Structure 1
Amino acid sequence: MQKPAMFRASRVESVLGELGPLADPGYRDRLAKFGSHPAKALGVTMPQLRKLAKSLGRDQELALGLWESGVHEARILATLVAELGQMTVAIADAWVGELDSWDVCDQACTNLFRHCPGPMGRRWFGLVRSRSLCGKLGL
């Protein structure tokens, strides 16, 4: 059952508010060396993101809202809380099309796409590769 947009927006804002105190400007600046956009990043480490994701649980509506926020760490968090059974080809195609850093790409593949059943998982890995993401990111 899809939650009202207002509920989703308030939940996303709440989670983004939880990310703020975890931010480390020094870590954010180091992320820039690896292709992340500092203007979109907060500087929250993966262990902190995993801990937060565990407390949030799986929530597809939250995942969609976090991804839409455009915040670097929120997108990684989206890959951790997304519900595999509710991912569609359209959603995954859109997410793949918006990948703009190696670590978000890596986390999307590790946390989400590799768990997709059969042809869907292979399709998304293929899309990631076909976008020449490595070249775009200078890898």
Structure 2
Amino acid sequence: MNLQQVVTRLETLADSEKIATKERKFGIKARNSLGIYHKDLKVLAKEIGCDNGLAIELFDTGIYEARILCSKIYDPKCITEEQMNHWVMTFENWEICDSFCMGFFAKSQHSLVKAFEWSGNKHEFIKRAGFVIMAAYGFADKTASNEAFESFFPVIEREVNDERTYVKKAINWTLRNIGKRNVDLNKLAIVVANRILANDSKSAKWIAKNAISELEKPDVSILDYPRLETFARQRAKQSSEKW
């Protein structure tokens, strides 16, 4: 599928009413938007498949939905820091920020470098991008050690006083996701959350209380990364030795 064919498909999916709905219900404001829901872009992305060249062409159209589509068809192994720095500067709402950071930037070899760098940025959605990468990193790298996630804690504590909605929500999301990666990180995340709770700012207290509320639930879903994969390898080895 070439650029013109994809743009034509996007124009076919366009719905001006959805632009208003997305802004009213989800706070998504975007320039050059056609009014296409994320789920429909995912279907189109699956049809197109991985195509780095087309992804760049789509981004360069300036069409909002074309840019989101770019994030879904570009191979994260191929992205450069220069591209990441260029694209993050264009983020204008949480939707496009999260689309790029969750399944794309978080899988890049530059993910942690950018996460730490952007988490201190003054721009709301660049800063959010840093924390969304941290929040998504646990799913992007299921074998990463606990130390990688523990290194996020000082950054979280440093930034908890940011009152901006989309920043504090991303910080909270990061803390909760770390605490659900395995039982050891769950305990550490709760300790960190309780330290944050002693902070005087409203955002810090909200971040901490919300995280503690979820992470201390008796039925909280806690994964077992990377133990789960280690255990699976051990079982496979034992099984092969048995036979």
Taking structure 2 as the reference length, the TM-score comes to 0.47
Corresponding residue to 2:68 among 76, 90, 96: 76
Question: Paired residue for 1:4?
Answer: none
Corresponding residue to 1:109 among 91, 98, 101: 101
Question: Paired residue for 2:187?
Answer: none
Query: Is residue 19 from structure 1 mapped to residue 20 from structure 2 by the alignment?
Result: no
Question: Paired residue for 2:56?
Answer: 64
Alignment gaps of 5+ in structure 1 = 1-9
2:70 and 2:117 map into 1 onto residues whose CA distance is 19
2:113 and 2:59 map into 1 onto residues whose CA distance is 20
Alignment gaps of 5+ in structure 2 = 129-161, 167-243
| 1:10-52 CA-partner distances (Å, limit 9, x unpaired) | 9222211101111121111123342422x41111111110110
Corresponding residue to 1:100 among 85, 92, 107: 92
2:2 and 2:116 map into 1 onto residues whose CA distance is 32
Percentage of matched positions with identical amino acids: 24
2:33 and 2:78 map into 1 onto residues whose CA distance is 27
Whether the aligned pair in 2 keeps the contact of 1:96 and 1:128 (CA below 8 Å) is no
Closer, same or farther: CA 41–132 of 1 in aligned 2, 3 Å: same
Closer, same or farther: CA 35–17 of 1 in aligned 2, 3 Å: same
Whether the aligned pair in 2 keeps the contact of 1:113 and 1:125 (CA below 8 Å) is no
RMSD: 2.1
After superposition, residues 10-49 of structure 1 pair within 5 angstroms as: 11-33=2-24, 34-37=27-30, 39-49=31-41
Deviates more, 1:122-131 or 1:98-107: 122-131
Query: What number of residue pairs does the alignment pair up?
Result: 126
- How far apart are residue 71 of structure 1 and its match? 1.0
**Given residue 18 of structure 1, which amino acid in structure 2 is its aligned partner?**
R
After superposition, residues 46-57 of structure 1 pair within 5 angstroms as: 46-57=38-49
Question: Paired residue for 2:113?
Answer: 123
Whether the aligned pair in 1 keeps the contact of 2:77 and 2:107 (CA below 8 Å) is no
The SS at the match of 2:35 is: coil
Spell out structure 1 runs of 4+ moving beyond 4 A.
none
Whether the aligned pair in 2 keeps the contact of 1:96 and 1:127 (CA below 8 Å) is no
- How far apart are residue 56 of structure 1 and its match? 0.4
Taking structure 1 as the reference length, the TM-score comes to 0.80
**Given residue 53 of structure 2, which amino acid in structure 1 is its aligned partner?**
E
Closer, same or farther: CA 126–36 of 1 in aligned 2, 3 Å: farther
